[in-house]
Chains A and B, each alone.
Chain A
Amino acid sequence: MNAIWSLVFKSLLRNGGRNLLQAGLIFFAAFVMAYFAQFLAGVTRNFTDNLVELATGEIYVSSTINKEIDQNVFDREYKYLRVPAPFLNEVSKLEGVETIHPRIDLPVRLNLPDDTVTFKMAAFNPENEPRLVNNFSITEGRMVENDAFEIIVPQDLARRHNINVGDSIPLLAGTVNRRVNLVQYTVVGKFLTNSLSAWFNNYVYTSLQPARVLLDDENVMTRLNIHLVEDAEREVLMPQVNALVAQYLDNDSNPELDATWWEDGAEFFSSLVFGIEAGFFIIVGIIMTILGCSMGFATVMTVIERTKEIATYGALGAPPKMIRKIFMMENVLLSDLSSLAGIGIAVIAYLLTVDVGIPINNPQFEAFIGASHFYPALDIGGFILPFIICKLVTAQVSFFIVTSAAKKPITEAIADR
């Protein structure tokens, strides 16, 4: 068998120019497929998985946020929900509801010794939301505790403004009643979040109660995430939640408030993910078509050029199957080597981009995820699949052509005419 492989290898080297072109094409196809697959995975993980994780609820009730994005965050008019305790109580008791996770999201001013920084603050109760806590990596200090006047700050912000763990910082915010309130918080930790939840870095965090004090309202929140049990039914639950919303929450500042099913709220992302996926498959489709055609063309050329050689194998007693095998091995070897090379480069390219990220040049998009860069995510299958696809396409095409070539009468092929 080794001798046949060596024959195959030598034949490949002989048609150097064309095979190189061929190899280049397969290389490119494998590279593009493998690399894009990582982006597809990044899309899914960044936007879908991670947002579900962050929302930690399949249903949410959210105050409408002022859409004027250009406006300074602090000056935006936030609409807060004033959620009475009976509402929370009744929602928790609905069949299919596992837990509820209130969130408060507000603009604050950090009065630092030599500067004033406008930033966003988010509040949740860490002790009740371990999944959300998992998204933080505390680099110094610790996570805030429920009900304590503590904040954690992004490492980057701390570095820029020389904020240290243990510092006491006055925070300024507009209350629900449109007055300005000032509350003293202690910095208990600095954090980093990974690329997948980079927008975490745009917030300082505290727990719910201190945020309510700052906003001067015991019932305030901006969003209620409702986490359901595994097999909860949307059709049943949504009307029940909405009935409670209508009963307790509709008021002048939030007219016609409705609960939102998570996936609907993320419609922008769903269509974006769909768009990227569609783009990916169109690219793959085009590449595979070109690859298939050129592979076919190259095999036809090879077979025409080498009819005499094929006939010689036949005359020397190679059964048609063997002849097919030899030529198939050539194509498969070519395809394997080049697609492996393409995938190898894709791995390197992936490792490079996963660190650096790709800048997002869409303001709407950027505002929504609060991150300026997009990152691919590792998808092992995305590295293996292109190899298999390239192999299948080349094998299919060459099988078809070589089979027909092997049927040519030997005497005609061998004659010197």
Chain B
Amino acid sequence: MEIKLTNVSKEYDLGATKVKALKDINFTVDSHDFITIAGPSGSGKTTILNMLGCLDTPTSGIVTFDGVDSSKLDLKQQALLRNEKIGIIFQSFNLVPVLSVYENIELPTLIGEKPQKRKDTKDWIMHLIESVGLGDRVNHKPEELSGGQRQRVAIARALVNRPQLVLADEPTANLDSVTSMRILELMRELNRNENTAFVFSTHDPDIIEHCDTVVRMRDGAILSEEDVHQRKDVSQTTIVDGIAQVPESDSENKEENHA
């Protein structure tokens, strides 16, 4: 699996003004990538995730999924691509209010080309529910759950079709650090065992620490793309790099706390 953004720009035309949400982005996601996109509010994190998830089309530039130009796919093909290969965790969860936890997670298995009738689907869903720690909330409705619990349902739902790529917009924003870590471990496991690629947007330093790659964004552009483990190793020795990077991430976090 490979998703590639080539010279991707996204503009929103608001009549008087034009908002450049993405500026000439070049970016590739491969199988077993575990990437974080960091950046201040409004920097284009959600927009770039939407491009990766074929939810939105660029104003210019090309998005390819395994070499296929996604703008050449019709609505149905795009939908099926999302259904079968991409799991999406939305910033505001978007659970279906009338469905229980179990049914929300089951939903993607039902609405694709043909409803899946695999015998192990039920076991898999239950496994996901246990993994996100909602074993005692199986039949609850979203409105009966806390923000963090809803988020966990959204996470399980994104994983249910065993996607090749999972996109997560601030997946741990509403979670305490213990739950965050548990969920991160689940994702790591899938990443290692099933070669699932993960792309997060986040403000959470813990998540950044646990990722392989951090992509830093500002004003719709990618500032840097760095290997987290390498940075950890290298930061002791390559002082110039460390100094150049660390204050920036600090200022970023402050900015967001104000926002």
Chain A residues near B (Cβ < 8 Å): 1, 3-4, 6-7, 10-11, 13-14, 308-309, 311-322, 326, 409-411, 414, 416
Contact = CB atoms under 8 A, between A and B. Distances in A.
Nearest to B57: A409
Interface pairs A-B: 4 shortest CB-CB: A317-B83, A318-B111, A10-B98, A317-B82
Interface string B53-80: 1011000000000000000000110011
Given A318-B111, A411-B55, A416-B92, A3 B103 contact: yes
B115 interface: yes
Contact of A410 (B55, B97, B108): B55
B50 A316 contact: no
B41 interface: no
B96 A317 contact: no
Interface of B: 50, 53, 55-56, 75-76, 79-84, 86, 88, 90-92, 94-99, 103, 106-108, 110-113, 115, 157, 161
The secondary-structure label for the interface of chain A is helix
A318 B112 contact: yes
Contacts of B94: 308-309, 311-312, 315, 414
18 contacts: A3-B115, A4-B115, A6-B103, A308-B94, A312-B90, A315-B55, A315-B82, A315-B90, A316-B88, A316-B108, A317-B108, A317-B161, A319-B112, A319-B113, A322-B111, A411-B55, A414-B55, A416-B91
Contact of B98 (A7, A313, A410, A414): A7
Given A319-B112, A411-B55, 4 more contacts: A312-B90, A312-B95, A316-B83, A322-B79
Given A315-B88, A411-B50, A416-B92, A4 B110 contact: yes
A313 B103 CA distance: 13
Given A3-B103, A13-B98, A414-B94, A315 B111 contact: no
Contact of B112 (A13, A312, A317, A414): A317
Contacts, number: 87
A34 B91 CA distance: 51
A389 to B, nearest CB: 29
A312 B79 contact: no
A317 B53 CA distance: 10
Given A315-B88, A319-B80, A320-B75, A309 B96 contact: yes
Contact of B79 (A11, A309, A318): A318
A416 B75 CA distance: 23
A318 B83 CA distance: 7
Given A318-B79, A320-B75, A321-B76, A312 B55 contact: no
A409 B113 CA distance: 20
A319 B97 CA distance: 20
Nearest to B85: A317
A244 to B, nearest CB: 78
A9 to B, nearest CB: 9
B110 A314 contact: no
Contact of B56 (A4, A10, A409): A409
